[in-house]
Structure 1
Amino acid sequence: MSAAPIRVGLVDDHAVVRFGYRRLLELEGLSVALEAGDAESAYAALGRHARLPVDVLIVDLALPGHSGLALLRRVRGRWPDARVLIFTMHDDAGTVTQCLRAGAAGFVTKSSDPELLIDAVRQVARGQVALSPDIAALTDGARTAPHAGLGTREFDVLNALLDGHGVEAIALRLRLSPKTVANYQTTIRQKLGVVSAMGLLQYARQHGLRH
């Protein structure tokens, strides 16, 4: 009797991308049991089941509304054994560190060969940690990048600032008070050694956080 196929969830805001990767996964004998275009709908779809309906959840970081990192934390908070594989264009050391700290079981960049994604899904389903070669090469550098020392909330605020959101908008998005967000902004600048919004953008470009 053959083993049941690995059940996969796909969370990516581009429908065409989801379609392409669903076809790829299905051709390799994997079962796509869930699809979503944003973090909220993904979490809601997962929560409609008594038990987690997927063996591996593939999550892009750049999602509308709440980020893929926020979804990762939320899923791991409710289902500690959930196996989440980050699949994204972001490839900076600090982001990798934050995702692994939050409980990601793997991190693969979208520039990787398709076979690497398939292999990573299978590794994660077996309980292993899967990193694409370009990400594995970054992990040593992640320890020394200044932004790798940010707390999880600070990293959320940093990403929102780099996306161009103001203090009030970030407060609403992260469900914090504007004063708390302003304090985070000050702390982030101190830790990164910058004194202005322009300095923050320059830091982000130098460290690959934004292009």
Structure 2
Amino acid sequence: MSSGLPIGLLLVDDDPLIRAGLGTILASDPGLKILGEAENGLRAIELASRLQPEVIMMDIRMPQLDGLGAMERILAESATAKVLILTTFGEEEYIDRAMSVGAAGFMLKSSDPEELIRGVYSVADGAAALSPRIAKRLVDKFRSVDHDRRARAMGLIEQLTPREHDVLALVGAGNSNSEIADVLVLTPATVKGHMTSILIKLKVRNRVEAALIAYQGGLVD
């Protein structure tokens, strides 16, 4: 990060073995720092308020209060916290609600260590972190349920200017605003302006939904 300080993390999962595994993987990167761990949503809310982590890795299914309920309360109280949802195959039905609440990304618990670390950095830098396997599974699911989704996505993409088209493709590939600015030789403020316009034209609420449209519309393999 620009401050030079490690990215502060809060790990939230009711399985102590998963928390231990995630902690070992993430602590191996000098740019990341584990600030705390929580075993349920209520504890996550308490620690998020006290520790002020930059990124919260949150499980969905937990006792007392699930990850989605905890995320909703945490994001309502914090303008800076970013939540990276940890999920497994078969939990795609939760993603729509998680996106509506404001999840910054979705990663599989079975992701490679490098992918998990990259996801944390992406979310911290303002990018949409979407595991390629989750994106592919979601797109395949959408296509199998509704064959018009791809046509709708392509129609929405056609409304974009050529530059917005380029920005969306890079968003779908998981790039942050600063990375997009470097690739397209633009200022971060210009990229931010393009992103605002893209979200409006695509009729979506956040970067994750925009990234899914990029996948559905064929901008990302």
Q: Give the TM-score band, short-chain normalised.
A: 0.5 to 0.7
2:15 is aligned to 14
Deviation at 1:137, TM superposition (A): 1.7
Q: How is 1:87-126 mapped onto 2 (pairs within 5 angstroms)? A: 87-126=86-125
Deviation at 1:138, TM superposition (A): 3.7
Contact 1:9 1:57 in 2 (8 A): yes
1:39 is aligned to 41
Q: TM-score, normalised by structure 2?
A: 0.59
1:175 is aligned to none
Contact 2:10 2:48 in 1 (8 A): no
Distance across 2 between alignment mates of 1:71 and 1:143: 31
Residues 131, 91 of structure 1: CA spacing in aligned structure 2 closer, same or farther, 3 A cutoff?
farther
Residues 54, 136 of structure 1: CA spacing in aligned structure 2 closer, same or farther, 3 A cutoff?
same
Letter of the 2:117 counterpart:
I
SS of match in other structure, 2:123: helix
Letter of the 1:22 counterpart:
G
Distance across 2 between alignment mates of 1:92 and 1:67: 13
Letter of the 1:8 counterpart:
L
From 50, 53, 63, the equivalent of 1:48 is 50
1:27 is aligned to 28
Contact 1:59 1:86 in 2 (8 A): yes
Offset from partner CA, 1:20-58 (integer Å, 9 cap, x none)? 211111111210012111111111122235xxx211000
Contact 1:92 1:138 in 2 (8 A): no
Residues 3, 100 of structure 1: CA spacing in aligned structure 2 closer, same or farther, 3 A cutoff?
same
- What RMSD over aligned residues (CA atoms) do the two structures have, in Å? 2.3
Distance across 2 between alignment mates of 1:100 and 1:125: 17
Letter of the 2:112 counterpart:
D
Distance across 2 between alignment mates of 1:82 and 1:113: 24
Query: Identity percentage over the alignment?
Result: 35
Unpaired segments of 5 or more residues in structure 1?
A: 147-211
Distance across 2 between alignment mates of 1:54 and 1:7: 5
SS of match in other structure, 2:14: coil
How many residues align? The count is 143
Q: TM-score, normalised by structure 1?
A: 0.61
Contact 2:60 2:66 in 1 (8 A): yes
